[in-house]
A and B are shown apart, each in its own frame.
Chain A
Amino acid sequence: MPLFNKYHFRGQQEGEQILFVLRRHWFDILQQFFILIVLLLILLGGFVLIPPLFPHVTGGSFNSLFLFLQTLFLLFLWIQGFLIWVDYYLDVWIITSERIVGIDQRGLFVRHVSEMPLARVQDVTNTVRGFFPTILNYGNLHIQSAGEDPLMIFRNVSDPYQIRETIMRLHRAAHEKKKPTA
């Protein structure tokens, strides 16, 4: 897969190829960014509307205080936006030629990594629930195995039907490879 040949994750074995890198659907992060976008619009509205409407607040001694509060608010929005982005960017499911690796990043201090060999996959089911998930074709994927971590969930991934088929195809291929030749 030439698309992911520049990708590398911690614990990747030699000769193990990354076939797919899956993240949550863009609509999921848009929902989280929505409140920030609204706050940013309020801030921009304040920049434009407050000086002509309330000249006594923005003029004289208060001008620098007003500017300080605005830039501090912008700084918090920027940091919060980047925290949301990092959470989205590092929350990832990797399908390699050998296994499925699930990395669940929650904020900056919680990170859960699980893996499941492709040959041990038992069942894959997907759920698309709700108005936007149905229209935009995203949902959850539940992968079951007989291993130590029996259930892996891909949350809000794009095209779960296609991914389910791909995983089952890779599982069959891995299973055939494991079979002893007669």
Chain B
Amino acid sequence: MTTLFGILYALILIVIIVIGIFIIFHIIRYSLNRTLATILILLFISVTCVLLLLNFSAFSTIPFNHLFS
């Protein structure tokens, strides 16, 4: 059960990371203002990383075997 949820969660993480890469790519490639682009990218990366870490730590503490027993 834990493995199944682990795979599903990995898929969610991959989707989030791919979307994040596309967002950063668009800002770098098409932004008119370099300064604003840098600020936006730093903001996006830092907040996304914090949220991902929080989410991952919450996921790793879920007792799946206990929940579905």
- Interface contact B58-A64, CB-CB below 8 Å: yes
Most B Cβ at <10 Å: residue of A21, A89, A92: A89
- Interface contact B23-A105, CB-CB below 8 Å: no
Enumerate chain B residues within 8 angstroms of A103, measured Cβ to Cβ.
Answer: 30
Residues of A in contact (CB 8 Å), total 30
- Find A89's partner among B31, B59, B63 (CB 8 Å cutoff): B31
Q: What's the dominant secondary structure at chain B's contact region?
A: helix
- Find A61's partner among B34, B59, B63 (CB 8 Å cutoff): B63
B33 at the interface (CB under 8 A from A): yes
Residues on A facing B (Cβ under 8 Å): 6-10, 21, 61-62, 64-65, 67-68, 71-72, 74-75, 78-79, 82-83, 85-86, 89-90, 92, 94, 103, 105, 108, 111
Residues on B facing A (Cβ under 8 Å): 12, 16, 19-20, 22-23, 26-27, 30-35, 40, 44, 47-48, 51-52, 54-55, 58-59, 61-63, 66-67
